[in-house]
Amino acid sequence: MVLKLQPDVAPHHIGTTEEVALRLLNESAHGSQLPSVPRLHTAATAEIGGRRWHYMVMDRAGEREFGWCGRDQTEAALGRAFATALVGLVYMHSCGVAHLDVKPANILVDRAHSATLIDFGLSLMQRESTRAAGTLPYIAPEICKRAVPHARAYNTFKSDVWSLGISLFAAAAGFHPWALANVHEQSGRYRRVYNAQGRAAHLGFSATWLLLSTPLSDELAATFPGMVGPATEEELSPCLSSPAAPLLVKLLDGMLVIDPDRRPDLRGVCRLADEWLAAVCPAEQRRVGAVLAAAESGASPLGAAVAAAAAGEKEQTFGHPGDGARADSADESNDPVYRSSFRSSGS
């Protein structure tokens, strides 16, 4: 187990926000094993040294960041880590919770290559938000207001898809497609990729290969698609040069669509991931398929059905339809709790 201790400081009450999200996720499983989410044992406030602190005791997650997996391990290890993180996010969304700070540092991988999502301090129990949240450079383009034309409120669940996609890209490629100092620089780069993606789709090119071109300069955008991908095939990581690499690129192309209206939700990501996972990690492909079926079943409460599917349990009949928050009604929450801010990369 691990103890997490934070100052209980107004007005954001970060610890309380995380506690609310974790309690909801723990209770929504209805006794099933929690999929890729830490089990919360206790949480309270205490006065220590004249200051009020909020503490939580929860299960310990893995010790390695998700980014470590793709650089040093096999495609199967990368596939298992991604699949378990994906299942955790599907479970969160089925409970009506968006993470909003998905990044390798918040996806911890154990020695069996199973991932656990951590750090729910920015999580939000509603589908749409206008608050900027996340970590540069993993934040979704629509959160950078100038990156996507006519962006207003953004879909919190779609933003999680983008952040998971960038995390997968970094783990598979061994580097980040961009590491920029501030939101203004990132907005400009998103706009260039946004324009190039439209041309890529029209000409049948892969947007992921565009992101593999580093640095993505104004000259590259102007001459695209002539300059795509690394200079030589030898520069590719093993995960992007294997026979299964085109399937991984197809998955990344879907997750890293700049326009959130065209970007799939997590159910769509499960479908996109099917072929790649079948090639590199068949056991996880079957589990993701079971989770997708549960997420599309309309069961109530939905979170319990997803948790049972993730655990490989037999189909159950769940009562008390008011107990679970379905993803398609998450924006009806009357009491959203969140903290919105930009964090520096790596925090």
- Tens of pLDDT along 89-135? 999 999 999 999 999 999 999 989 999 998 888 888 888 888 878 88
Is the predicted pLDDT of residue 161 greater than 60, yes or no?
A: yes
With bands split at pLDDT 50, 70 and 90, how would you rate the model's confidence at 216? very low
Is the predicted pLDDT of residue 327 greater than 50, yes or no?
A: no
- Report pLDDT for 152: 75
**Average pLDDT of the chain, as a whole number:** 74
- Report pLDDT for 47: 67
Average pLDDT over residues 64-87: 86
Assess whether 110 carries a catalytic annotation: no
Q: Tell me the one-letter amino acid at 316.
A: Q
- Report pLDDT for 104: 92
Bridge partners, 4 (sequence order): 56
- Report pLDDT for 320: 35
Average pLDDT over residues 322-332: 33
Burial of 3 (0-12, 13-18, 19+ CB in 10 A): exposed
Percent of the chain past pLDDT 90, that is, above it, reads 32
Residues 58 and 108: beta-carbon distance below 8 Å: no
Burial of 112 (0-12, 13-18, 19+ CB in 10 A): exposed
Is the predicted pLDDT of residue 262 greater than 60, yes or no?
A: yes
Residue spans of the domains in the chain: they are 64-331
With bands split at pLDDT 50, 70 and 90, how would you rate the model's confidence at 5? very low
Tokens, residue 321: 């339809």
CA distance 152 to 260: 12
The side-by-side arrangement of strands in the sheet containing 40-48 is: 2-7, 51-58, 40-48
The residue assigned the tokens 């319990």 is: 304
Residues 104 and 70: beta-carbon distance below 8 Å: no
Nearest to 170 by CA among 137, 143, 198: 137
Residues 120 and 17: beta-carbon distance below 8 Å: yes
Average pLDDT over residues 151-157: 84
Angle, alpha carbons 156-167-185 (nearest 5°): 75
Tokens, residue 205: 């090119």
What homologous superfamily does CATH list for 64-331? Answer: Transferase(Phosphotransferase) domain 1 (1.10.510.10)
Residues 6+ apart with CB under 8 A from 313: 32
- Tens of pLDDT along 39-65? 765 655 666 666 766 556 666 667 788
- Report pLDDT for 202: 62
With bands split at pLDDT 50, 70 and 90, how would you rate the model's confidence at 88? very high
Burial of 321 (0-12, 13-18, 19+ CB in 10 A): exposed
Catalytic residue among 8, 59, 101, 323: 101
